[in-house]
Structures are given as C-alpha cells and as structure tokens.
Amino acid sequence: MSTEEDCKIIHSGTNSRTIVSHVSEEGIEALKNWIKSGHEGKSAAFSVETLSRVRLDKSPDFINMSSPDSVHFSFYSKCLAKRNPYAMYLQSLRLGFCSLDMKGAISLLNDCKDVIPIAKLLYIALNRCAGNEVLDAFNTFKRENKCFTDVDIMAKTLIDHISDLEPKRFGSYAELFHYEDYPDCWVIHEFYNEYNGERCSHCVYFFLFRDILLLS
Ligand SMILES: [Zn+2]
C-alpha cells in the first residue's frame, strides 16, 4: 500500500497511530509525508509509539542528526527522550567518541543492544575499551550472527559511523583496553599471503576492537 493510500486511511479511520507506527519502519523520509498530510497525520507522526520506534538509521542524515546543526536534530531529540533505540545508539556513539563519556555510552547501549545488533557489537567493543570482556554478550552476539559477511559488513558500518562523527583519534581508551595477542589465524593468513587486511570469522572482531580503540 502506498503512503498516499495510507494517508487516506488516516483521515478516515481511528487506527492512525498504529498505521503511522507501521510506516515508521520506513524512516523519517516516509514520515514527512504524514506530517504534511494534516493535523491528524502530524499528531500521529509525533506520537510516543512512532517516536520510540521510527527507523532513524534509514535516513541519509542518520549520523549527522545528533548534531545541533542538523535539520533533524529536534526530531532526533524527541526520539531520544522516548528511548528510541536508534537514537540511543547514535547518542552512545557521540558520548563514546566525542565526549569520551564511556560509562554514559555503555549505559545507553545496554538498553538498546538487544534490539539492534550493531549496538550490541559496539557495546562489546566499548566494554573491551573499558577492560571488560562481557563474555556472555559476546558469545550471544556470535551465536546470533554466524554469517561472516554480515558481521564484516556490520563492523565496517560501525567504523564508518564512528569516523563520520570526527572522533578524537588519540587512543583515549588505550590504558584500560583489554589487549590480546594476534589471533591464531594470523599464521594462516600469512601462509596464504593475505597481507591486505583479509579477515575471517576469528579475527574480524580482533581488528574491529583495535580500530575502535584507535578511533577513540
Ligand atoms: Zn583471521
């Protein structure tokens, strides 16, 4: 069903909030049409149900919207106030890499990590930076994300998200960082002349945590 058809239902029916909440899966861009459609659409778009669920991550402005300069900052702040997991993930990135408030970042991630896989990955990585292994969360993540390609893409997305925030890059968390030697597979990569950053399901995490430390 198109957004236009949905809008007609909103004006005629009583389930507007449920419908908008469903459309919120499509992100901010889809919501803009609802806000323009009139008073009822607007109140539905700003309903608690929508603010707490809308897929902010689908917007091209996702990382930038946590900056006060963004046109989406006000909407983002409303979502954050309603504990929207995508807003919480974004705020944790800002706290962890711009304000260097690791405790604040981990606390927010703790509340959204079971909804967004990339938030769980960041939760594990930031805990690593804090010297905590959080093995239960790590084992759960590995059990839930068995496909190497998916994890590799998620790791690259996470690095992109952090890089877009212009992090400090001082290795600010180096003192507490949980160090480990090179993973066992390093010898195998060397045997196959894989010197160009090839990763496998064993070392993808090792290099991700190290890169995150370097970006902090
Ligand atoms: Zn490897």
How much distance in Å is there from the Cα of 145 to the middle of ligand 1?
A: 17
Each domain of the chain, given as residue ranges in start order, spans: 1-54, 60-215
How much distance in Å is there from the Cα of 155 to the middle of ligand 1?
A: 14
Q: Say if residues 209 and 158 touch (Cβ distance below 8 Å).
A: no
Nearest to 88 by CA among 49, 60, 57: 57
How much distance in Å is there from the Cα of 106 to the middle of ligand 1?
A: 27
How much distance in Å is there from the Cα of 126 to the middle of ligand 1?
A: 21
DSSP secondary structure of 111-166:
HHTTT-HHHHHHHHHHHHHTT---HHHHHHHHHH---HHHHHHHHHHHHHHHHHT-
Q: What is the pLDDT of residues 55-102, one digit of tens each?
A: 999 999 999 999 999 999 999 999 999 999 999 999 999 999 999 999
pLDDT computed for residue 142 by the predictor: 96
How much distance in Å is there from the Cα of 113 to the middle of ligand 1?
A: 25
Nearest to 121 by CA among 150, 164, 87, 82: 150
Task: State the Cα–Cα distance between residues 168 and 177, nearest whole angstrom.
Answer: 16
Nearest to 79 by CA among 99, 62, 56, 97: 56
Q: What is the mean pLDDT of each run of 10 residues along the chain (216 residues)?
A: 48 59 78 83 87 93 95 96 98 96 97 97 96 94 95 97 94 87 86 85 92 94
- CB atoms near residue 119 (< 10 Å): 24
SS3 content of the chain, % helix, strand, coil (to 5): 65, 0, 35
pLDDT computed for residue 4 by the predictor: 52
pLDDT computed for residue 9 by the predictor: 47
pLDDT computed for residue 180 by the predictor: 77
How much distance in Å is there from the Cα of 149 to the middle of ligand 1?
A: 13
Residue found under tokens 């960082």: 177
